[in-house]
Amino acid sequence: MYTSKIAGIGHYVPDNVVTNKDLEKFMETSDEWIQERTGIKERRWIDPKSDDMPSTMGTKAAKKAIENAGLTPNDIDFIVFATLSPDYYFPGPGVQVQDLLGIKEIGALDVRNQCSGFIYGLSVADQFIKTGMYKNVLVIGSEYHSGGLEKTTRGRGVTVIFGDGAGAVVLSRSENNHGILSTHLHSEGKHAKELALIGPATNRWVDQIMSENDPDDTSYYPYMNGNFVFKHAVTRFSEVIMEALMTNGHQPGDINLLVPHQANLRISQFIQKKMGLSDEQVYNNIMRYGNTTAASIPIALSEAHQEGKIKEGDLVCLAAFGSGFTWASALIKW
Ligand code: UT7
């Protein structure tokens, strides 16, 4: 069996900055409420006039990751694309990335695990490399939330949280056994509707939504039972981080950098306190980007890497929780 390592990282976020004050213009909210409850100061929302889409943003992040790995697009053997906001209902954006990169007809897989999507994708890529099937796998997380959010006071509990952007890594065969030590994936589908966008989908087709023409119908906007999700998040994050540490004979103090999915700063701070970690051991950038779901971990990892916060030999832990519910972790010896 081979070991896989993150050989290159990159991210891309749209230029358009939307501050909390900007949101006050079209809903009853306040900079104070948003910062106090979530830690978010601003987020990036795609300018609809730009060519930014999950596929194009993902490709931009991927190109940076490929360059950062010292590779060319044709060195990539397989694409894994994680998103909850694909350009099209089908096909998923993985195939669009294959086209946009202008590369040979390699396989492209789309992952639908929302906030845990990037770690699920990383785990899939890790298996392909471990078995020797592929040498370089591109793993992308990219989201375009802003176009589908309800930008009124009714939608404020969800809308103020989410942002757009993309991050990517190239996972490659490691030469020195440094790399992904283990990944851990979980789900609990009985809570599927607690954080979901129900329609339009096969349980609720567009025809049905349009024929009912119900002004109170919010099924085509994302719904989140915030308090319920929060309570489950803090428990599952801690569990899955401990699972990764215990599997590899480590304890929280051994972590050099924890990069949690950026769901809410209060969640990250809760985990940090519970695990007895210092500020230097936890990376957060939700203040600048909000919650970018599948893109949040690779964007954060990319920024942390650019800022020199990750060194060769460091123990890096990734962890996520979100819609599904799904939760996941990955422990990496850098
Ligand atoms: O990434 C996937 C996983 N997602 C998460 O982990 C998110 C988990 N949940 C959360 O982060 C938090 O629950 C939220 C940030 C979504 C909400 O924070 P909260 O502290 O749980 O607030 P709440 O939902 O209990 O609402 C408190 C009050 C309510 O008013 P009343 O009923 O007390 O009068 C809300 O209507 O705050 C009101 N409210 C707002 N006020 C101003 C809700 N959203 C807003 C808003 N601006 N944007």
Q: Look up 261 and say whether it is catalytic.
A: yes
Please report which confidence band the pLDDT of residue 289 belongs to, taking 50, 70 and 90 as the band edges. Answer: very high
- Residue of the CA atom closest to atom 14 of ligand 1: 226
- Which ligand 1 atom is at minimum distance from the Cα of 158? 16
Is there a contact between 145 and 164 (Cβ–Cβ < 8 Å)? yes
- Residue of the CA atom closest to atom 4 of ligand 1: 263
DSSP output for 26-59: TSS--HHHHHHHH---EEE---TTS---HHHHHH
| Cβ of 227 below 6 Å from ligand 1 | yes
- Encoded tokens for 330: 């990955």
Mean pLDDT for 161-166 is 98
Please report which confidence band the pLDDT of residue 177 belongs to, taking 50, 70 and 90 as the band edges. Answer: confident
Which amino acid, one-letter code, is at 255? I
Q: What is the pLDDT of residue 156?
A: 98
For residues 20 and 175, give the distance between their C-alpha atoms in angstroms, rounded to a whole number.
46
Model confidence over 23-47: pLDDT tens digits? 999 999 999 999 999 999 999 999 9
Nearest to 244 by CA among 118, 126, 331, 130: 331
Torsions phi, psi of 248, nearest 5? -110, 15
| Cβ of 223 below 6 Å from ligand 1 | no
Nearest to 261 by CA among 236, 244, 226, 224: 236
* 115 alpha carbon – ligand 1 mean position (Å): 18
Q: What is the pLDDT of residue 192?
A: 98
- Residue of the CA atom closest to atom 48 of ligand 1: 156
Catalytic residue among 113, 264, 284, 291: 291
Q: Beta-carbon neighbour count of residue 235 at 10 Å?
A: 13
User: 77 has which bridge partners?
Assistant: none
Between helix 296-306 and helix 54-68 the angle, nearest 10°, is 30
The strand pair at 326-333 and 179-187 is best described as: antiparallel
* 222 alpha carbon – ligand 1 mean position (Å): 14
Nearest to 250 by CA among 325, 160, 316, 172: 316
Torsions phi, psi of 306, nearest 5? -60, -35
For residues 286 and 48, give the distance between their C-alpha atoms in angstroms, rounded to a whole number.
23
Model confidence over 305-329: pLDDT tens digits? 999 999 999 999 999 999 999 999 9
- Residue of the CA atom closest to atom 16 of ligand 1: 226
Catalytic residue among 11, 68, 115, 264: 115
Model confidence over 59-104: pLDDT tens digits? 999 999 999 999 999 999 999 999 999 999 999 999 999 999 999 9
- Give me the domains of the chain, ranges plus CATH numbers: 4-177 (3.40.47.10), 180-333 (3.40.47.10)
- Which ligand 1 atom is at minimum distance from the Cα of 264? 11
Please report which confidence band the pLDDT of residue 6 belongs to, taking 50, 70 and 90 as the band edges. Answer: very high
To the nearest whole number, what is the mean pLDDT of the chain? 97
Q: What is the pLDDT of residue 138?
A: 98
Model confidence over 195-243: pLDDT tens digits? 999 988 998 899 999 999 999 999 999 999 999 999 999 999 999 999 9
Which of 37, 152, 225 has the most ligand 1 atoms within 8 A of CB, as the residue to mutate? 37
Is there a contact between 109 and 319 (Cβ–Cβ < 8 Å)? no
Which of 154, 230, 235 has the most ligand 1 atoms within 8 A of CB, as the residue to mutate? 230
pTM above 0.95, yes or no: yes
Q: What is the pLDDT of residue 94?
A: 98
Q: Is pLDDT above 90 for 150? A: yes
Q: Look up 291 and say whether it is catalytic.
A: yes
- Which ligand 1 atom is at minimum distance from the Cα of 230? 8
Report how far apart the first and last C-alpha atoms of the chain are (Å, whole number): 18
For residues 240 and 43, give the distance between their C-alpha atoms in angstroms, rounded to a whole number.
28
Q: Is pLDDT above 90 for 261? A: yes
* 144 alpha carbon – ligand 1 mean position (Å): 21
| Cβ of 291 below 6 Å from ligand 1 | yes
| Cβ of 155 below 6 Å from ligand 1 | no
Between helix 31-38 and helix 265-274 the angle, nearest 10°, is 30
- Residue of the CA atom closest to atom 44 of ligand 1: 157
